[in-house]
């Protein structure tokens, strides 16, 4: 009996030891494979990184050299490189004497590269951070110019579309930027140009409202057309579009049967523009008013 149980227990111990040894071997194999895979992946990532990324040529450059190279890129028309260099300059030397100028220069680089939103944001950031900077007037002016030239681009040139037939949001934002410049810096070298652009924009905004009023007329929304035209006469009394606005008022009031209002508008029209004709589709001039350059 003792021998039989002794043999059985001895067999169980040997079986348990073998099983334990097998488990340990499996753990070692798994550990080896896992570490090997991790090493292979790390080597692959390192290789990919070394192949995909070229060394940064500007790593050892001083702030002065980065700024100089960025200015050269800006003047030569390589605006993407200029933007990249100005960004590196500000990131590496945020408190250096070149950082402030880089913040202003990058706005122009964005503008020239066609990144309108980034250019405006850069101008606004510079104005907020440096309200007393000697060149902050340029930031206001550039912000106005970016909005001023926010048009249809190439396809707009092909179609010759009147800019007043498009959304006037950019025109209004440009006008506000120029007005702020003129009020805060009346003696700035940019103020005269800003005033001329403001006059242009006033005409543009008036013509935009007339375009909307003409659309209402075609849709037979006569009351809306009359109200929009009347707003032009009151808001932009010196704009060339006032003539068209008065014509729309006369025609709209006539369609509504408002004889007194029609006669009042017609008297003002005859006194201000005696040579005009009552036609919604009239042509006032061969060259559109907005082609001032």
Show me where the domains of the chain are located: 62-127, 134-293
pLDDT at 179 over 90: yes
**Predicted local confidence at residue 153, as pLDDT:** 40
Closest CA to 209 of 217, 263, 264: 217
Q: With a threshold of 0.85, does the pTM exceed it? A: no
Q: Looking at residue 285, what is its pLDDT?
A: 42
* pLDDT-based confidence at residue 152 (cuts at 50, 70, 90): very low
- Cβ-based burial of 142 (10 A; exposed 0-12, middle 13-18, buried ≥19): buried
* pLDDT tens string 198-220: 999 999 889 989 999 999 999 99
Residue 277 — very low, low, confident or very high, per pLDDT cuts 50/70/90? Answer: confident
For the domain spanning 134-293, the CATH number is 1.25.40.10
pLDDT at position 169 is 81
Q: Please determine whether the domains at 62-127 and 134-293 fall in the same fold group of CATH.
A: yes
Distance (Å, whole) CA 33 – CA 100: 54
CA-to-CA dists, residue 116 to 121, 124, 147, 290, angstroms:
9, 12, 8, 22
Percent of the chain with pLDDT over 90: 57
From the candidate CATH numbers 1.20.1250.20, 1.10.4080.10, 1.25.40.10, 3.50.50.60, the one assigned to the domain spanning 62-127 = 1.25.40.10
């Amino acid at each position: 009996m003792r021998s039989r149980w002794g043999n059985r227990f001895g067999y169980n111990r040997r079986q348990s030891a073998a099983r334990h040894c097998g488990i340990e071997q499996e753990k070692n194999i798994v550990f080896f494979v896992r570490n090997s895979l991790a090493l292979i992946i790390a080597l692959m990532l390192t290789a990919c990184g070394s192949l995909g990324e070229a060394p940064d040529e500007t790593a050892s450059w001083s702030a002065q050299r980065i700024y100089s190279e960025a200015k050269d890129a800006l003047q030569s028309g390589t605006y993407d490189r200029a933007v990249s260099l100005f960004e590196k300059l500000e990131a590496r030397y945020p408190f250096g004497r070149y950082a402030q100028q880089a913040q202003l220069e990058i706005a122009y680089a964005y503008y020239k590269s066609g990144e309108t939103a980034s250019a405006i944001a850069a101008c606004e950031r510079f104005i907020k951070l440096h309200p007393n900077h000697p060149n902050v007037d340029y930031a206001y002016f550039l912000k106005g110019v970016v909005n001023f030239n926010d048009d249809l681009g190439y396809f707009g040139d092909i179609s010759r579309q009147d800019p007043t037939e498009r959304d006037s949001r950019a025109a209004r934002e440009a006008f506000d930027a120029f007005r702020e410049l003129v009020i805060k810096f009346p003696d700035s070298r940019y103020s005269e140009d800003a005033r001329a652009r403001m006059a242009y924009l006033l005409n543009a905004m008036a013509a935009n409202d007339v375009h909307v009023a003409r659309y209402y007329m075609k849709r037979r929304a006569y009351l809306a057309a009359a109200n929009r035209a009347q707003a032009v006469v009151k808001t932009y009394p010196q704009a060339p579009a006032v003539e068209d606005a008065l014509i729309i008022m006369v025609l709209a009031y006539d369609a509504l049967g408002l004889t007194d209002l029609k006669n009042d508008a017609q008297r003002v029209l005859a006194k201000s523009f005696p040579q005009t004709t009552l036609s919604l589709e009239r042509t006032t001039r061969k060259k559109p008013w907005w082609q001032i350059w």
